[in-house]
Structure 1
Amino acid sequence: MSTNIPEVPVDIPRDGDLRVGPLDPFLTRRKEKQPSISAAFKNLKICKEKIGRATSRWFFFNSISANAAKGPYYESMIETIGEVGKGVEGPTSYEIYNKYLDMEVEDMKAYVSTFKRIWDEYGCTLMCDGWTGITRRSMINFLIYCKAGTVFWKSVDASGKVKNTNYLFQLIDNMVEEIREKRIVQVVTDNATTFKLAGQKLMDKREHLYWVPYSAHCIDLMLEDICEDPMVENVVNNARFVTTFIYNHNNILDIMRTHTHGRELLRPTPTRFASQYIALDSINGQRGNLIRMVAYEE
């Protein structure tokens, strides 16, 4: 018995034939050579070095501290530049101080607004801190603390103002109104007499508020009083004499740095707070090295 089955011609591409079958892309070998792992790491190392040279040159030319690279936005800046790629110009100084600064301010306002819900629910603490800058301008900073963290609220330039009780009371009272009285549980300032009296007036006006002095400032005042003891004062003066003598003689200073392995001594300064005790702790920590330095034959 015979069957008439038509023969289907099979067209097989030969070498040099330009025709391509539907399965050829899956069966033929790719002509591209995959880079080796060592080559890929070498290329990555070269790219990192180019980025390092360019960014470091920018740091050096503009006298920017290298510690700025530890900031939270340094790596994100590098990543964003890499994602965007070539052909995009950087922002101008005018754009940075105008367009982008305004955008950052709006973002920060939106971030602070997220804390206000916590202030409404749990309350917050208004903190007031005064300081004098290198230009001798007197500034008073206001910060707000809550369970979610601390945010900076406002800075007031008090230069040329008489910082008496009435001025400080009016300033703090205005901040309470601005933040809303129902949100604030307590107001914290330093323990100066004017702040203390201003806090008392604030509690008289707003009965649910409490004025509390800084614990750190109270401790600093205690340490300052201890320094007035003749025995403690004598120890601090001796430590100041030793460090002044060492740092006024280069040869002795070099010997000290050799024995302390390059570590410096903190010198007591005639200021309040805990600087004297920190300096004494620094000297005591190098006690053994200082003894070896004195016994050094040279």
Structure 2
Amino acid sequence: MKKVEREVAERLSSLQHKQVPLPTSSVSLGPSLSLHEPRILEHLKKRKSMDSPIAKAFDMQTRAQLDAEIARMFYTGGLPFNLVRNPYYLSSYSFAANHPLGGYVPPGYNKLRTTLLQQEKTNVEKLLEPIKSTWLGKGVSIVTDGWSDPQRRPLINFLVVYENGPMFIKSVNCSGEVKDKQFIANLMKEVIDEVGDQKVVQIITDNAANCKGAGEIIEGMFPHIYWTHCIVHTLNLALKNICVARNLESNQETYDECHWITEVHGDALVINFFIMNHSMRLAMFNRFSSLKLLAVADTRFASIVVMIKRFKLLRRALEAMVMSDEWGQYRDDDQGKARFVYELVVNENFWEKINYILSFTALIYDMIRVCDTNKPCLHLVYEMWDSMIFNMKKVIYDHESKLPSDFSSFFHVIHRILLARWTKHSTPLHCLAHSLNPRYYSDKWLQEKEGRMPPHMDGDVSTQRMKCFRRLFPNPDERAIVDDEFADFSLKSGSFGDPYAILNSYDKEPRKWWACYGSRAPFLQRLAFKVLGQPTSSFCSERNWSTYSFVYSFRRNKLTPKRAEDLVFVHNNLRLLSRNTS
């Protein structure tokens, strides 16, 4: 064998040195071995390409070696390949390649996690200053939420939300502290003082009792700042009251009307688990569908609706699976459950119930989708809630074949749940934002649906709006001016009677409309700029924990809370800055 290898090496060396043209079929390397032409050509081309003048000019061998070193770093460090799409990955190597840095040594372990991290945090803070300078005129919302890190330390984070997105402010380690309303209120006050109380319009939290109590304390300290509930949490709680009704004495009527929804969801879970918990059944299902079954966590908003929506999309695939020869030939240990799954999948009544559930819960789900963003939507909540109830009544009455004047016990229960949630968690700020939206005074909007009225003619809205005016303008002289300005705005008189102002009130974005036509009402214009630019959900604070999980994982759990906070600050706010630049 060694003799053969030696013959091959000698023949390749002679061919390369003499550059003898190769035959078209094969090259004889002796009685014991014959190599085909493509393999020799490939070897020669590689050798020649590395020794060519072009390769030497661009130092291809050194480049290939650097590529190998970078790849080795990825492979041994378990780094995701997606890292190469990071713009800072490309810019760092480009900077090194375009500058003479002889003898440069990359930063070490301690420098990277201490000195350089603090330098970058300081740099990010400077880059954020121009954004913060706009907050006084536009107003911001402070959003907060709690979480536990991999070492089970309780953390509370604070973000400031403005028109272009959420800005991470800080995270507080609450180990050893009692997270009552006074403790949370003190943390909120520190953030308000840091941001500037005149810039803050509202504080948004979830609907926990201690958060509500803390919000009331803040409202006592700063009368112009409102505590508002997260509207997405409120809608999710209402959806749970409807879809997961409990058999309690105080909840008997709701359970009697809505428990069938829980049963349908339970049947869908049985099918889901029956398929997903066995590799043979899952492989069988995957041959009939490219979509996957979902195992939705209960902590996710509208988890029941999300799962049932996916189930509806998979109907044809499930029917094809249980009717196939493969399903009939498969011998499962649990024949009873397999028969139950088959009967459910082919049962038309089961799918009709799913369609009905989705038809009326989709209205709540759609509102959750609209509100579960950073975009300004505080001024839309009041009207969306009213339209949601109106459309839900229409869907239920059409399904039950009833007239609008008839009584529906099912709709009565749902309406009572939604109304109770709104009454408990609505704030005057929702009504104020609704009142300042020019769209709701336009004839086009008023004529879209019977029974609509402009906000200044709605008694409940007007009462809540006047409460806001008294809080935001404690000076009687200023409040009198604001009342006059609002009267002109709502009656389309004075400067608001301009034909273009009336024409554009329906389609134009509310703040842009106020910028164009509200200069003659300075107090109301400044208020509109602030109120109409606010979100109504604390979702960004909850999604920030995904960034924490990315930075502070179970494998990287030795980070101190302070260093983890600095890393999240840099990560989040660099992303914010990148979204606002070219």
TM-score relative to the length of structure 2? 0.41
- Structure 2 matches for 1:35-114, cutoff 5 A? 53-84=68-99, 87=102, 88-114=104-130
- Structure 2 matches for 1:124-203, cutoff 5 A? 124-203=140-219
**Residues 137 and 157, structure 1, Cα contact 8 Å, conserved in 2:** yes
Return the alpha-carbon distance in structure 2 between the equivalents of residues 118 and 77 of structure 1: 32
Return the alpha-carbon distance in structure 2 between the equivalents of residues 169 and 257 of structure 1: 52
Q: CA deviation at 1:155?
A: 0.4
Q: What CA deviation, in whole Å up to 9, does each residue of 1:179-231 have, x standing for no partner? A: 22122121111122221122122112211111111122222222222221312
Q: What is the match of residue 33 of structure 1?
A: none
Secondary structure of 2:182 counterpart = helix
Match for 1:294: what amino acid? Answer: V
Secondary structure of 1:207 counterpart = coil
Return the alpha-carbon distance in structure 2 between the equivalents of residues 244 and 224 of structure 1: 21
- Structure 2 matches for 1:277-296, cutoff 5 A? 277-296=305-324
Secondary structure of 2:105 counterpart = coil
Return the alpha-carbon distance in structure 2 between the equivalents of residues 188 and 44 of structure 1: 58
CA RMSD of aligned residues (A): 2.7
**Residue from 263, 267, 283 that aligns with 1:238:** 267
Match for 1:58: what amino acid? Answer: M
Q: CA deviation at 1:52?
A: 5.6
Residues 49 and 211 of structure 1, relative CA distance in 2, 3 Å threshold: farther
Q: What CA deviation, in whole Å up to 9, does each residue of 1:90-132 have, x standing for no partner? A: 2222221233212211111112222221123332211112223
Q: What CA deviation, in whole Å up to 9, does each residue of 1:268-294 have, x standing for no partner? A: 444463223222222322222222222
**Residue from 237, 244, 254 that aligns with 2:283:** 254
Residues 89 and 172 of structure 1, relative CA distance in 2, 3 Å threshold: same
Between Structure 1 and Structure 2, the one with more helix by share is 2
Match for 2:321: what amino acid? Answer: M
Match for 2:294: what amino acid? Answer: L
Q: What is the match of residue 244 of structure 2?
A: 228
Match for 2:265: what amino acid? Answer: V
Q: CA deviation at 1:176?
A: 1.4
Residues 90 and 164 of structure 1, relative CA distance in 2, 3 Å threshold: same
Return the alpha-carbon distance in structure 2 between the equivalents of residues 235 and 52 of structure 1: 56
RCO comparison, higher one (Cα < 8 Å, 6+):
2
**Residue from 273, 276, 284 that aligns with 2:304:** 276
Q: CA deviation at 1:151?
A: 0.8
**Residues 125 and 184, structure 1, Cα contact 8 Å, conserved in 2:** yes
Moved over 6 A (4+): 43-51
% identical aligned pairs: 28
**May I ask how many residue pairs the two structures share in their alignment?**
257
Q: What is the match of residue 206 of structure 1?
A: 222
Residues 260 and 129 of structure 1, relative CA distance in 2, 3 Å threshold: same
Secondary structure of 2:167 counterpart = strand
Between Structure 1 and Structure 2, the one with more strand by share is 1
Return the alpha-carbon distance in structure 2 between the equivalents of residues 77 and 240 of structure 1: 49
**Residues 128 and 143, structure 1, Cα contact 8 Å, conserved in 2:** yes
Q: What is the match of residue 6 of structure 2?
A: none
Return the alpha-carbon distance in structure 2 between the equivalents of residues 291 and 51 of structure 1: 55
Return the alpha-carbon distance in structure 2 between the equivalents of residues 234 and 47 of structure 1: 67
Q: Compare 230-239 and 150-159 and name the one that shifted more.
A: 230-239
Q: CA deviation at 1:49?
A: 7.2
Residues 82 and 61 of structure 1, relative CA distance in 2, 3 Å threshold: same
Return the alpha-carbon distance in structure 2 between the equivalents of residues 286 and 49 of structure 1: 48
Unmatched 5+ residue regions in structure 1?
1-38
Q: What CA deviation, in whole Å up to 9, does each residue of 1:45-101 have, x standing for no partner? A: 999876665433322211122233333422223322332478433222222123321
Q: What is the match of residue 266 of structure 1?
A: 294
Residues 286 and 106 of structure 1, relative CA distance in 2, 3 Å threshold: same
Residues 69 and 284 of structure 1, relative CA distance in 2, 3 Å threshold: farther
Residues 270 and 182 of structure 1, relative CA distance in 2, 3 Å threshold: closer
Return the alpha-carbon distance in structure 2 between the equivalents of residues 227 and 215 of structure 1: 18
Q: What is the match of residue 371 of structure 2?
A: none
Return the alpha-carbon distance in structure 2 between the equivalents of residues 181 and 259 of structure 1: 58
Match for 1:279: what amino acid? Answer: M
TM-score relative to the length of structure 1? 0.76
Residues 115 and 270 of structure 1, relative CA distance in 2, 3 Å threshold: closer
Return the alpha-carbon distance in structure 1 between the equivalents of residues 65 and 119 of structure 2: 31
**Residues 268 and 280, structure 1, Cα contact 8 Å, conserved in 2:** no
Q: CA deviation at 1:152?
A: 0.3
Match for 1:103: what amino acid? Answer: Q
Return the alpha-carbon distance in structure 2 between the equivalents of residues 226 and 85 of structure 1: 68
Return the alpha-carbon distance in structure 2 between the equivalents of residues 254 and 47 of structure 1: 47
Secondary structure of 1:154 counterpart = strand
Return the alpha-carbon distance in structure 1 between the equivalents of residues 64 and 320 of structure 2: 44
**Residues 269 and 276, structure 1, Cα contact 8 Å, conserved in 2:** no
